[in-house]
Structure 1
Amino acid sequence: MELTRLLLILSTVAFVVGVVHAIAALRAGRWQENKWQFLPMAVGFAFQCAFLYLRGEMHARCPLTSQFEVFIFIGWCIVLLYFLVGATYRLSLLGLFTAPLIAILQTLALLMPDNPGAVKHVKMSVWEHLHAPLAMIAYAAFALACITGVMFLLQDHLLKKHRIHALFRQLPPIHHLSRAIMRMVALGVLLLAVAMISTFKIHLAISAVKMTVSWSILGLYTVILLLMWRHTLSARHTAWLSVLGFMVPFLSLWVVIGR
Structure 2
Amino acid sequence: MTPDRIALLLSTFAFLAAVVPALRALQTGDWRRGMAQKLTMALGFVFQTGAIYLRGQVVGQCPMKSVSDILVFIAWSVVLLYFLVGTTYRVSLLGMFTAPLVAAMHGLAFALPGAFPDYAAKPKIDAWVELHAALALVAYAAFALACVTGVMYLLQERFLKRHLIGGLFYQLPPIQGLAKAIQRQVLLGLILLSASLAITFKLDTPITNPKLIFAWGVWGLYAVMGFIAWRHALSPRQTAWLAAVGFVIPFISLWLVT
Q: CA RMSD in A?
A: 1.7
Q: Following TM superposition, by how much is the alpha carbon of 1:90 offset from its aligned partner in structure 2, in angstroms?
A: 5.1
Q: Is the 8 A contact 1:91 1:172 kept in 2?
A: no
CA contact (8 A) 1:185 1:225 kept: yes
State the shift of 1:30 in Å.
Answer: 1.6
Q: Does 1:221 align with 2:222?
A: yes
How far off is 1:125 after superposition? 3.0
Larger fraction in helix? 2
Match of 1:129?
130
How many pairs does the alignment contain? 257
Question: 1:186 corresponds to which residue?
Answer: 187
Distance in 1, matches of 2:247 and 2:188, equals 14
Report matched runs for 1:56-67 at 5 Å: 56-67=56-67
Matching residue of 1:6: 6
> Cα deviations across residues 192-219 of structure 1 (Å, max 9, x unaligned)?
1111111111267786221211111000
Matched, 1:175 2:159: no
What is the CA distance between 1:232 and its match in structure 2?
0.8
Q: Which residue of 1 aligns with 2:196?
A: 195
Partner of 1:25: 25
Give the whole-Å Cα distance in 2 for the aligned partners of 1:188 and 1:194. 10
Partner of 1:234: 235
Q: Secondary structure at the match of 1:190?
A: helix
Secondary structure at the aligned position of 1:119 is classed as: coil
Runs of 4+, deviation exceeding 4 Å? 89-92, 203-207
More deviation, 158-167/110-119: 110-119
Which ranges in structure 2 are unaligned for 5 or more consecutive residues?
none
Which ranges in structure 1 are unaligned for 5 or more consecutive residues?
none
**TM-fit CA distance, 1:56:** 1.7
Distance 1:3 1:207, change over 3 A: farther
Specify the alignment match of 1:53 in structure 2: 53
Distance 1:8 1:205, change over 3 A: farther
Are the structure 2 counterparts of residues 91 and 237 from structure 1 closer, same or farther at C-alpha, using a change threshold of 3 Å?
Answer: farther
Aligned equivalent of 1:96 = 96
Q: CA, structure 1 residues 216+93, in 2 after alignment: closer, same or farther (shift >3 Å)?
A: same
TM-score normalized by the length of structure 2: 0.94
